[in-house]
Amino acid sequence: MEDHRKSSHCTYDIKYHLVWITKYRKPVITGKIALRTRELIRMICQSNEVEILAGHVGSDHIHLLVSVPPHLSASKLVQYLKGNTPRKLQMEYKGSNKQFWGRHIWARGYFVASSGMCNG
């Protein structure tokens, strides 16, 4: 039970592997934008009690393995991540990658796989 997390009324072990890509798979997540994207993802996860177990910010995709509390669905977490990061990046890096500014950085959709065991 070392890997289980606890809240006031619940013990849980819910993990999601999440992957999403940039629109048209364009390699726009580089340099300062990649560092800021990683920072924003950490902030969003921390504010939602999500623990990042592993992650990778590629130039055209994001991989995350996260431990999530039971009240937060995978779709809601992805909505927070894909919705908040572009807005902040667009405000901070107005001159970069004009091909996406004013539109979306991320492609529609995402991949999610749940992982974990029940030792009941």
State the pLDDT at residue 1.
Answer: 47
Query: pLDDT tens digit string along 20-63?
Result: 999 889 898 999 999 999 999 999 999 999 999 999 999 999 99
Whole-angstrom Cα distance, residue 94 to residue 69? 35
pTM here?
0.86
Across all residues in the chain, what is the average pLDDT?
Answer: 87
Residue 92 pLDDT level (bands cut at 50, 70, 90): confident
In CATH terms, the fold of domain 11-115 is Alpha-Beta Plaits (3.30.70)
Residue 103 pLDDT level (bands cut at 50, 70, 90): low
Q: Where are the alpha helices (DSSP H) in 1-120?
A: 31-47, 74-92
Residue 89 pLDDT level (bands cut at 50, 70, 90): confident
Distances (CA, A) of 61 to 7, 23, 55, 72: 32, 9, 11, 23
Residue with tokens 């009690």: 49
Higher pLDDT, 66 or 103: 66
Domain residue limits, the chain: 11-115
Q: Of all residues in the chain, what percent are helix, strand and coil, respectively (each to 5)?
A: 30, 25, 40
**71 φ, ψ to 5°?**
-80, -5
Whole-angstrom Cα distance, residue 37 to residue 89? 8
Share above pLDDT 70 across residues of the chain, in percent, rounded to a whole number: 87
Lookup: tokens for 57: 């910010």
